[in-house]
Amino acid sequence: MSGPQPGENPELAGLPAWLYPLGFWVGVAALALGMLVPGLAVAGVVWVAAVPVLAALWVALAAWKVDRRLSLAALMALAGLAVVFVVKQWI
């Protein structure tokens, strides 16, 4: 597989290039703020854990009409995460 050709939009069916870094840096800022205000540390940890889930949801919804296989892969990843949480409750 090769990268996108000149003139093609590499973000056509996937995650926009700005979304994941933005989520990461918001998480870093929230964790840094959690060092000063310990009550906010939990919010920072939850945000950092939620960024990949939000990214998968974005891809699943945005790619449905363009690349259904990519969308289904994102939904399968989310389903796998849900299975982990369900099984974790039994252990």
pLDDT at 10 over 80: no
pLDDT of the residue at 67: 84
- Which residue carries 């998480």 as its tokens? 27
Count other C-beta atoms under 10 Å from residue 51's C-beta: 17
Model confidence band, residue 2 (pLDDT cutoffs 50, 70, 90) = low
The answer for residues whose C-beta is within 8 angstroms of residue 27's C-beta and 6 or more apart is 44, 47, 48, 51
Residue type, 71: S
Q: Decide if pLDDT at 72 tops 70.
A: yes
Closest CA to 62 of 26, 15, 6, 4: 15
Given a cut of 60, whether residue 28 has pLDDT beyond it is yes
With a threshold of 0.85, does the pTM exceed it? no
